């Protein structure tokens, strides 16, 4: 019997297994669930046998260098249909004499029953990616003819991968997928899903999801089901199934490893209750309230929010990037007992760290305590903050096939701790103090994902950008969509403004920024909740400032590499600006800090729309009292 932590504990579980429906029912019941298993598809042999016979004859006459068998059902259909015309033993001898590559245990088991030992076996999880990797290592396909027994549906990624490697693909489809003969059980499950009467949904095949949504569309229930499933726990048998679920705009909360039906049930049962609670929590946080009258909340009349709107203020508002960080002893005390990611995943401590800093400094806005990179984890990147070092991505993205495995983020459940940090921090701050949410911009996130960490040359990033524009655009589009979802969730949870950090974009020249970055940033910013001030911050190259402004944002953040007055001219006076004291000035004496702060204020010339900040984050070596003194100096010098 499963333990309480491994049990569905009476949750309602829908599944769509056909051939092994009884097995799936028993597995769900043993895991403590209430099963609703409805067959969703059946394999149907193609009616036209001529292509099968012609394929078999090409195999018999040695016109294929290798034969790839992707499914047990398809292999059996091929043999059953071809042997009537070419003879069973001749066909088996030809298969035995050809290099055979089998994907998964079922075609391998069938060949063994026929007395044939497969030449190569695709390793788990048996997807097209592992198939291509196996061929690269054991059977380079350049100039080879590859006979391919397809799934019930064509896999364009596999075909493209083989052809890109110089192989000629000889395709054979011997069966297709159709609805089950009795549609009543599947229709009943569709009704349950639409009514929200299911807690967990399990898919052991991508085609199950396709058929489910196809029939739901025919019954005008697709949108209702997709929306309802966002609140349910969705389990996938493996990576190929997961890819299709995401393409169909369905969440993937659990992916079985290894990709087996029993593992899928067990792992989903173990995680289901926590996942449902997390989804309910995030949903309750991120439901947008009814619009309040304009500027009615206390923080809306704060100097910071007025400056974002380019309205006059009694003094220049100031906040500091990385204002809660390693320069503060309170922060170091917290970090001494836990890792950085552990701290980021503790909303109460994140709020405490930020609120302590805000109270000490006397700033005019708080920013949530988090990091740019956690968003990459639910997108499939293996992130680690190494002790004493910076962030490391252990599975960096280097080519188009790597881009394919980057998950398209569709919800923020996996980042629930950040959303809860927003809610907790908003609750702990004074009502008059605005809260800023933030995220990394697509280029900076892409660079981390591609380089695997920090970089000086951005060698791998620019290589992908220049050599494979489609892969680059696919990655940037995926990141832009994810960041928009992420920032909107922060806004719904209580952030009054958001900042987009493009900390690494300065490595680009204006033409490259305009070509490879600006379209994606523009699309991202267009998706942000209307009425929310957006601070668009980049560093390293002042020539990018007018292009950043054109890409979008109400406020453009400026680093210290250009005078603020010159920067504002480049940006245009129809935008607010933020910046731009050199962070190293805070290591100097108070007289120098005062002098340099005055210079920045003089360059702003009292125009509405200036938010004072550093040109980047507070450095670890900064004396805390100097940071607090800067805030006091800005308030004093700018008061009217």
Catalytic residues, by residue number, are: 322, 326, 335, 371, 448
Q: Cis before residue 580, ω within 30 degrees of 0? A: yes
Chain-centroid distance, C-alpha 122? 27
The span from the CA of 125 to the CA of 259, in Å, is 6
245, 206 contact by CB (below 8 A): yes
Question: How far apart, in whole angstroms, are the C-alpha atoms of residue 562 and residue 61?
Answer: 72
- Comparing CA positions, the residue from 464, 339, 319, 443 lying closest to residue 389 is 339
Largest CA distance in the chain: 97
What beta strand segments (E) does 137-288 contain? 145-149, 168-172, 175-178, 200-203, 233-236, 254-255
Collapsing DSSP to helix, strand or coil, 36 comes out as strand
**Calpha distance 146→100 (Å, rounded):** 10
CA dist 392 → 21, 449, 536, 559 (Å): 43, 9, 25, 25
Strands (E), 441-539: 497-502, 534-538
Q: Tell me how far apart the alpha carbons of residues 548 and 606 are, in angstroms, rounded to a whole number.
A: 23
Residue at token pair 């609670």 = 277
Q: How far apart are CA 344 and CA 368, in angstroms?
A: 10
Q: Which two tokens stand for residue 312?
A: 């006059």
591-to-65, 442, 587, 588, 606 alpha-carbon distances in Å: 79, 39, 11, 8, 22
- Give the long-range contacts of residues 103-106, CB within 8 A, separation 24 or more: 103/68, 103/69, 103/70, 103/71, 103/131, 104/70, 104/71, 104/72, 106/71, 106/72, 106/73, 106/75
**Rounded Cα gap, residues 475 and 271, in angstroms:** 29
| Contact call for residues 280 and 17 (beta carbons, < 8 A) | no
Cα 275 to chain centroid, rounded: 17
The side-by-side arrangement of strands in the sheet containing 34-37 is: 34-37, 12-15, 200-203, 233-236, 254-255
> Do residues 339 and 301 make contact, with C-beta atoms less than 8 angstroms apart?
no
Residue 416 host element (H or E): helix 416-428
Pairing of strands 366-367, 435-440: parallel
- How many other CB atoms sit within 10 Å of the CB of residue 117? 9
Residue closest to 548 by CA, chosen among 564, 540, 559, 537: 537
- Cα(244)–Cα(39) distance, rounded to whole angstroms? 19
Residues paired with 80 in a beta bridge? none
State which H helix or E strand residue 485 sits in: helix 469-493
């Amino acid at each position: 019997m499963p333990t309480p932590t491994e049990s569905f504990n009476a949750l309602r579980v829908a599944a769509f297994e056909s051939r092994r429906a009884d097995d799936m029912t028993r597995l769900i019941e043993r895991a403590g669930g209430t099963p609703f298993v409805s067959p969703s598809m059946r394999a149907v042999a193609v009616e036209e046998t001529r292509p099968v016979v012609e394929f078999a004859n090409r195999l018999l006459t040695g016109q294929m260098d290798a034969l790839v068998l992707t499914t047990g059902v398809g292999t059996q259909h091929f043999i059953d249909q071809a042997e009537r015309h070419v003879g069973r033993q001749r066909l088996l001898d030809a298969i035995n004499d050809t290099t055979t590559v089998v994907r998964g245990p079922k075609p391998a088991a069938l060949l063994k029953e026929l007395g044939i030992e497969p030449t190569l076996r695709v390793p788990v999880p048996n997807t097209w990616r592992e198939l291509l990797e196996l061929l690269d290592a054991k059977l380079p396909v350049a100039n080879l003819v590859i006979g391919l027994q397809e799934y019930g549906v064509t896999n364009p990624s596999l075909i493209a991968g083989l052809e890109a490697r110089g192989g000629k693909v000889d395709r054979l489809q011997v069966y297709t997928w159709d609805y089950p003969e009795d549609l009543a059980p599947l229709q009943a499950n569709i009704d349950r899903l639409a009514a929200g009467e299911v807690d967990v949904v399990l898919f052991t095949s991508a085609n199950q999801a396709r058929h489910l949504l196809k029939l739901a569309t025919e019954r005008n229930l697709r949108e209702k089901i997709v929306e309802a499933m966002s609140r349910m726990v969705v389990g996938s048998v493996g990576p190929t199934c997961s890819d299709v679920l995401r393409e169909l705009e369905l969440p993937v909360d659990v992916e079985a490893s290894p990709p087996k039906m029993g593992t899928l049930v067990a792992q989903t049962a173990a995680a289901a209750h926590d996942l449902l609670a997390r989804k309910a929590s995030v949903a309750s946080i991120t439901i947008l309230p009814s619009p309040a009258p304009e500027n009615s909340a206390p923080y809306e009349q704060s100097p910071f929010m007025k400056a974002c709107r380019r309205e006059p203020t009694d003094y220049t508002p100031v906040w500091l990037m990385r204002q809660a960080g390693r320069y503060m002893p309170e922060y170091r005390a917290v970090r001494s007992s836990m890792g950085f990611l552990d701290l980021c995943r503790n909303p109460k401590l994140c709020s405490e760290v930020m609120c302590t800093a805000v109270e000490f400094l006397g700033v005019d806005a708080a920013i949530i305590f988090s990091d740019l990179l956690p968003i990459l984890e639910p997108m499939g990147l293996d992130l680690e903050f190494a002790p004493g070092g910076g962030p490391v991505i252990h599975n960096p993205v280097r080519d188009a096939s790597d881009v394919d495995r980057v998950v398209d983020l569709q919800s923020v459940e996996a980042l629930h701790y950040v959303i809860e940090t927003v809610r907790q921090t908003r609750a702990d701050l004074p009502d008059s103090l605005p809260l800023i949410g933030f995220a990394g911009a697509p280029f900076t996130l892409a660079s981390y994902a591609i380089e695997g960490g920090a970089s000086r040359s951005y060698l791998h990033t620019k290589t992908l950008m220049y050599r494979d524009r489609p892969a680059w655009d696919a990655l940037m589009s995926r990141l832009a969509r994810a960041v928009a979802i992420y920032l909107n969730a922060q806004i719904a949870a209580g952030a009054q403004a958001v900042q987009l950090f493009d900390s690494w974009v300065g490595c680009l020249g204006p033409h490259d920024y305009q070509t490879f970055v600006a379209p994606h940033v523009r699309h991202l910013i267009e998706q942000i909740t209307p009425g929310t001030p957006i601070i668009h911050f980049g560093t390293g190259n002042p020539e990018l400032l007018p292009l950043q402004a054109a890409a979008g944002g109400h406020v453009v953040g400026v680093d210290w590499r250009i005078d603020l007055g010159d920067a504002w001219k480049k940006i245009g006076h129809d935008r607010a600006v933020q910046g731009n004291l050199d962070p190293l000035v805070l290591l100097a004496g108070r007289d120098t800090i005062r002098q340099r702060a005055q210079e920045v204020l003089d360059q702003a010339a009292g125009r509405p729309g200036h938010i004072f900040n550093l040109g980047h984050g507070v450095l670890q070596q900064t004396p805390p009292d100097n940071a607090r003194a800067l805030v006091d100096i800005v308030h004093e010098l700018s008061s009217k």
